[in-house]
Amino acid sequence: QKEVEQNSGPLSVPEGAIASLNCTYSDRGSQSFFWYRQYSGKSPELIMSIYSNGDKEDGRFTAQLNKASQYVSLLIRDSQPSDSATYLCAVTTSASKIIFGSGTRLSIRP
């Protein structure tokens, strides 16, 4: 079992719709959870962090965390073509390692 798992996609979403990205992790002691966006040929960029169960909203982005289910998700509302990128889920494990998933490729179609 991978430490952080994501569906590789591609996930195709029409412009203006909600994109839903999911991530599961294996270390129950993990405390910090992050979403990074990576455009093709660029380096990852932090877009959301979440530390406690529930939802955290920032503009069009909402991160959701369920520690009991070891599940993290990212919702992107009113999806724009500029949201087309690979989204990486990252988790800080109980050993203070920051582990990345393999990413979900998101494509917003006009």
Partner 1 sequence: EAGVVQSPRYKIIEKKQPVAFWCNPISGHNTLYWYRQNLGQGPELLIRYENEEAVDDSQLPKDRFSAERLKGVDSTLKIQPAELGDSAVYLCASSLGSKTGELFFGEGSRLTVL
Site residues for partner 1 per CB under 8 A: 4, 8, 32-34, 36, 42-46, 49, 88, 90-92, 96-103
Nearer to partner 1, 52 or 110 (CB): 52
Closest separation in Å from C-beta 34 to partner 1? 5
Nearer to partner 1, 37 or 79 (CB): 37
β-sheet bridge partners, residue 1: none
Nearer to partner 1, 48 or 108 (CB): 48
What does DSSP say about strands 104-109 and 11-14: parallel, antiparallel, or unpaired?
parallel
Closest separation in Å from C-beta 72 to partner 1? 12
Closest separation in Å from C-beta 13 to partner 1? 20
